Amino acid sequence: MPERSRVAVLISGRGSNMAALIYAARADDCVYEVALVTGDKSDAHGLEVARAEGIAVVPLDARSLGPAFWGKLQHALESAGIDLIALAGFMRIIPDDFLAEWEGRIVNIHPSLLPKHKGLKTHEACLAAGETATGATVHIVSPDLDSGEILGQVKVAVLPSDTPETLAERVLIAEHQLYPRVVSQYLSRTNDFEWITERVGDLALALPKTHYQTSHGSPGWKVGSQSSSKFFAIMWNRHHGAESIGVLVKCSGQDEMAQLIEADPDIYFRPAYYGPSDWVGITLDRPRVDWEHVSDRCAQSWELVAPRRLLEAGGR
């Protein structure tokens, strides 16, 4: 089982979605663990539940902390090594600089079928609009309220007898099932070969005079003209019984390869059946890949194989 992603749940109140996320994470094959529960109200009922469940809680109070709140929150998240923030009834608008820091790594659940009925009083709005169905949505948090990329939705029928309260109650049941499922799916992308390959491709093709080509069926990237070019990065998809997905890049030789693997055996590997070549593997199906580092290694590999004239022309 690959390493689990670390999720922080941010709440302001009762925290029933938080509890749903915690209980789903108890399944042996769940891809995430709830590593932290925090929020903007130190007396939120959900914090008590989280504590009782043995989850790390950092009580923060935005009312008394004022502007210092966001810095304290950032510190708590960093100290806990958080990969993804799940908002669950967190009643505070997130400032743009905080959002930028966590871009694509904050999700929220909203009790309507977005883009319908954004904001508060969604069930009232749904009934007033005479809808026959509503539901819940999990989305990425972006600067515009309730408007980020939709990751998953579930539909709930509206009964003629529904009041905002009865509807909220049923939608909440749907929310509890939807949220853990969508969080798991979203986090699973870090183990997905296609997703990883796309990210490596973006880095590889950002280097000069590069193009895509397969090598024995594996996606790869070459430098040079189509007629005379050399591979500098090749994807590795659990080949030869190896467990990991990664990318192979050139290093300067056997000494460097041995040093890299010894210093970071969780990150670097010697690709089986490559013999004494200078290809070293970088494991990429992990929640916390340092993509800047991968980018640097791709660039170094590019430099090792790029034709002289490209290097002399200033390279990259």
Q: What residues are labeled active site?
A: 110
* Residue 262: CB minimum distance to ligand GRF, A: 47
In terms of CB distance, is 100 or 120 closer to ligand GRF?
Answer: 120
Which listed residue (21, 85, 111, 148) binds ligand GRF by CB under 6 A?
A: 111
Output the smallest distance, CB 24 to ligand GRF, in A.
13
Torsion sign, CA atoms 44, 45, 49, 51: positive
The only residue of 5, 8, 10, 16 in contact with ligand GRF, by rule CB under 6 A: 16
Q: How far is the CB of 129 from ligand GRF (least distance, A)?
A: 18
The single residue among 39, 89, 135, 201 that binds ligand GRF, judged by CB under 6 A, is: 89
**Token pair 């709830």: residue:** 34
- For ligand GRF, the closer CB: 178 or 204: 178
Residue 16 has, within 13 A of its CA and on its CB side, a CA count of: 10
Identify the H or E element spanning 101.
helix 96-101
Would you count residue 39 as binding ligand GRF (CB under 6 A)? no
Nearer to ligand GRF, 11 or 298 (CB): 11
DSSP annotation of 109 reads: E
How do beta strands 279-283 and 245-250 pair? antiparallel
Least separation, in Å, of the C-beta of 104 and ligand GRF?
19
Site string for ligand GRF, 121-160 (x = CB under 6 A): ----------------------------------------
Taking alpha carbons only, the member of 11, 9, 159 closest to residue 83 is 9
Residue 106 binding ligand GRF, by CB under 6 A: no
Q: Which amino acid is at 16?
A: S
CA dihedral 177, 18, 46, 149 (to 10 degrees): -110
Provide, rounded to whole angstroms, the least separation between the CB of residue 13 and ligand GRF. 5
The per-residue b/e assignment along 100-125, b for 16 or more CB within 10 angstroms, e otherwise, is eeeeebbbbbbbbbbebbeeeebbeb
Residues from 170 through 189 that contact ligand GRF (CB under 6 A) = 172, 175
Determine, following the binding rule CB under 6 A, whether residue 167 of this chain makes contact with ligand GRF.
no
Asked if residue 9 lies in contact with residue 21, where contact means CB atoms within 8 angstroms, the answer is yes
Residues of the shown chain interacting with ligand GRF in the complex, contacts defined by CB under 6 A: 11, 13-17, 88-89, 109-111, 172, 175
